[in-house]
């Protein structure tokens, strides 16, 4: 009897152990040893002391373009900002470079520049473009983001306490790997070598067109994540719209953060509205009271990258497959927004792999990847006509302004005169090294 009890006790012990083992499997950490993207960190202290004027150099991996007062600001993705004097578009002059690690976006009001420095917002005095000075910093206002990585391999565990990630090394890794710690909850820097832009509706806000004698801002693009509306700076992250009161430009006041949804990518201000592009649709917010944006509507589409520009009663939305957007759709959608609470699709055109676009006075410029630059007469949005193409240029980013088209292609920044829409005239090229 004793033996039976002992054996039965042992059996129950093993049953209970096995049950607890299998019941806790979901809570165990999986240890992996395989080739992976291993983070390279920059400590926060070093990241926050490395903003300074750098050496003037050539374009290598340019990103978004910003135009103000005859100056072109070009982001060197993750590194800083090139500044070109474009007083003569036929002969732009490289005058300075600002080292800003982790930079992707900028906006400018008066002589104050706002830029992302990894997780921080920095504020710089640019009254002297050859000697810009850091005047303010707001820590941890942007999401912790990852640089592009080799998607053929997993990401090793991420330890945010070590600093920001500036790159990766591919090596064998034995690390804790849960989705949330391997990049699942972190947005990724733009993986494009170049980027996308806009310029419609520039007269609507003080923050959109620059002139030292008049307006106070500059021209951003359709892939911008920063937008200025009068005394407010709006920025978008993976899920949120963040407000900053910039009535005193040098000392922004951090305002409300509004949750919008998942996969938020771009922001475009027009009149009293914000048009926010996401991987699943275009959100429209009313900013007639700039301090309190209110949701109006959403135009839903299949999963894809989604820059937006607006002119008059129409929004132009490109949808692109591949990259972080996954998706499979490549097309241009024309959307009637005459009723902002009920946007409706007007027409769709198939494209190759569209990205940035810009519209100016009934002329639409669309960057279509390997298919080149496409120019449309959009004076009748219901029946747009293709006017011209530049198939020899792999275009990513355009700003049409004052009859000068500024465009990033795979081999440089091109500038064209479009005073004759049927025959663009090449003005200059800034080559990529």
* Segment 303-349, tens digit of pLDDT: 556 789 999 999 999 888 766 555 678 999 999 999 999 999 999 99
**For the chain, what is the domain count?**
1
Distance CA 396, CA 432 (A): 14
- Residue 360 inside a domain? The answer is yes
Mean pLDDT over each residue of the chain, to the nearest integer: 83
Kindly provide the b/e burial profile for residues 98-118, where b requires at least 16 CB atoms within 10 angstroms of the residue's own CB: bbbbbbbbbbbbbbbbbbbbb
Residue 412 pLDDT class (50, 70, 90 cuts): confident
- Which residue has better confidence, 307 or 87? 87
pLDDT tens, 16-59? Answer: 444 444 444 444 455 547 888 999 999 999 999 989 999 888 89
Is the CB of residue 103 less than 8 Å from the CB of residue 78?
yes
Q: How far apart are CA 307 and CA 356, in angstroms?
A: 7
Q: Is residue 156 part of a domain?
A: no
Residue 324 lies in a domain: yes
HSE, CB side, 13 Å, CA atoms: give it for residue 371: 16
Which comes out higher in pLDDT, residue 412 or 233? 233
Looking at residue 201, what DSSP letter applies? Answer: T
Give the torsion through C-alpha atoms of 161, 122, 83, 126, to 10 deg: -150
Is 123 a domain residue? no
Asked whether the beta carbons of 358 and 198 are under 8 A apart, the reply is yes
Q: What is the mean pLDDT of residues 256-278?
A: 92
CA atoms within 13 A of residue 123's CA, in its CB half-sphere: 21
State pLDDT tens for residues 150-187. Answer: 888 888 889 999 999 999 999 888 764 544 445 556 77
pLDDT at 248 over 90: yes
Q: What is the pLDDT of residues 204-218, one digit of tens each?
A: 333 333 322 233 578
18 inside domain: no
Would you say residue 36 lies in a domain? no
- Tell me how far apart the alpha carbons of residues 276 and 307 are, in angstroms, rounded to a whole number: 8
Mean pLDDT across 112-133: 97
Q: Indicate whether 234 belongs to any domain.
A: yes
Position 422 in a domain: yes
Q: Given this model, what pLDDT does residue 373 score? A: 92
pLDDT of residue 124: 98
Tell me, letter by letter, the H, E, C secondary structure of 135-179: EEEECCCCCCCECCCCCCCCECCCCHHHCEEEEEEEEEEEEECCH
* Residues belonging to the chain: 433
Between CA 419 and CA 154 the distance in angstroms is 50
Cβ contact 265:236 at 8 Å: yes
* CATH number of the domain enclosing 277: 2.130.10.10
Domain that holds residue 206: 191-431
Q: How many CA atoms lie less than 13 Å away from 251 in the CB half-sphere?
A: 1
């Amino acid at each position: 009897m004793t033996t039976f009890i002992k054996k039965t006790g042992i059996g129950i012990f093993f049953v209970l152990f096995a049950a607890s083992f299998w019941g806790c499997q979901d809570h165990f950490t999986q240890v992996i040893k395989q080739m992976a993207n291993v983070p390279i960190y920059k400590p926060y202290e070093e990241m926050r002391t490395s903003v300074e004027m750098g050496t003037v150099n050539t374009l290598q991996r340019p990103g978004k373009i910003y135009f103000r007062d005859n100056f072109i600001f070009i982001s060197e993705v993750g590194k800083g900002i090139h500044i070109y004097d474009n007083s003569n578009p036929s002969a732009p002059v490289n005058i300075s470079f600002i080292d800003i690690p982790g930079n992707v976006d900028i906006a400018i009001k008066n002589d104050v520049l706002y830029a992302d420095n990894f997780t921080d917002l920095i504020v710089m005095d640019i009254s002297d473009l050859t000697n810009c000075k850091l005047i303010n910093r707001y820590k941890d206002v942007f999401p912790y983001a990852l640089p592009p990585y080799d998607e053929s391999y997993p990401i090793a565990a991420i330890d945010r306490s070590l600093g920001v990630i500036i790159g990766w090394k591919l090596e064998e890794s034995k690390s804790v790997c849960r989705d949330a710690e391997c990049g699942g909850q972190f947005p990724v820097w733009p993986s494009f070598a170049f980027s996308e832009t806009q310029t419609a509706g520039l007269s609507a806000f003080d923050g959109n067109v620059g002139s030292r004698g008049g307006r106070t801002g500059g021209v951003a693009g359709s892939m911008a994540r920063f937008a200025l509306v009068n005394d407010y700076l709006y920025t978008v992250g993976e899920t949120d719209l963040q407000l900053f009161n910039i009535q005193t430009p040098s000392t922004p006041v951090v305002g409300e953060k509004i949750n919008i949804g998942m996969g938020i990518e771009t922001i475009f201000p027009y009149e009293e509205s914000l048009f926010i592009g996401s991987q699943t649709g275009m959100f429209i917010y009313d900013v007639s009271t700039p301090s309190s944006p209110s949701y109006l509507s959403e135009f839903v589409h299949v999963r894809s990258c989604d820059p937006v520009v607006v002119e008059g009663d129409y929004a132009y939305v490109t949808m692109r497959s591949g990259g972080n957007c996954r998706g499979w759709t490549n097309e241009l959608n024309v959307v009637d927004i005459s009723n902002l609470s009920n946007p409706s699709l007007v027409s769709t055109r198939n494209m190759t792999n569209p990205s940035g676009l810009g519209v100016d006075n009934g002329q639409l410029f669309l960057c279509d990847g390997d298919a080149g630059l496409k120019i449309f007469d959009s004076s009748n949005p219901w029946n747009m006509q293709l006017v011209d193409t530049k198939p020899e240029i792999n275009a990513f980013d355009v700003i049409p302004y004052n009859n000068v088209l500024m465009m990033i292609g795979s081999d440089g920044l091109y500038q064209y005169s479009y005073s004759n829409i049927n025959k663009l005239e090449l003005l200059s090229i800034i080559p990529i090294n």
